[in-house]
């Protein structure tokens, strides 16, 4: 068996327009796709500012309630500076940055309560 790379992570939300605005305007994600599909559904796909795995904002999975995504880790060169910038943009933070053996972390919540972790790699 040969598995490939992770291509896409589904982020469960209640309002795709509101969440798209958050990820695009507050976090700086790039909109890859915002298209209608099926009966009254939208496919909203975004790419993080540094590239990598895309996210899609989903509303149609009954077993993925909005806000249930926890622990999606996004790399960050300067957690403290980024937290200050996000705070100025009105982003809800889970508290001040914290040092751990595997890096410096801060948590951010989207409008539905999905939790994203910002991680700055430890210095050697």
Backbone angles phi and psi of 39, in degrees to 5: -85, 105
**What is residue 57's predicted lDDT score, i.e. its pLDDT?**
98
pLDDT band at 99 (very low <50, low <70, confident <90, very high): very high
Backbone angles phi and psi of 5, in degrees to 5: -80, 160
- CA torsion, points 33, 119, 67, 14, in degrees to nearest 10? -20
**What is residue 101's predicted lDDT score, i.e. its pLDDT?**
92
**Cα(15)–Cα(59) distance, integer angstroms:** 8
Cα-Cα-Cα-Cα dihedral sign, residues 88, 21, 48, 61: positive
**Residue 10 β-bridge partners:** 56
Helix or strand (DSSP H, E) at 79: helix 79-88
Q: What domains can you pick out in the chain, each with its CATH number?
A: 8-120 (3.10.180.10)
Would you report the helix, strand and coil content of the chain in percent, each value rounded to 5? 15, 40, 45
Backbone angles phi and psi of 74, in degrees to 5: -120, 125
pLDDT digits (tens, 9 = 90+) for 30-76: 999 999 988 889 999 999 999 999 999 999 999 999 999 999 999 99
> What would the two tokens of residue 106 be?
């801060």
């Amino acid at each position: 068996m040969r598995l490939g790379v992770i291509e896409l992570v589904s982020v469960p939300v209640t309002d795709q327009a509101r969440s798209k605005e958050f990820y695009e305007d507050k976090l700086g994600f790039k909109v890859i796709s915002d298209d209608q599909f099926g009966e009254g559904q939208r496919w909203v796909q975004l790419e993080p500012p540094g590239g990598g795995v895309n996210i899609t904002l989903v509303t149609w999975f009954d077993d993925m309630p909005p806000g249930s995504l926890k622990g999606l880790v996004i790399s960050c060169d300067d957690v403290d500076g980024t937290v200050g910038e996000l705070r100025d943009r009105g982003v809800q933070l889970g508290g001040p940055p914290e040092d751990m053996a595997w890096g410096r972390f801060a948590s951010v919540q989207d409008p539905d309560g999905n939790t994203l972790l910002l991680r700055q790699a430890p210095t050697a």
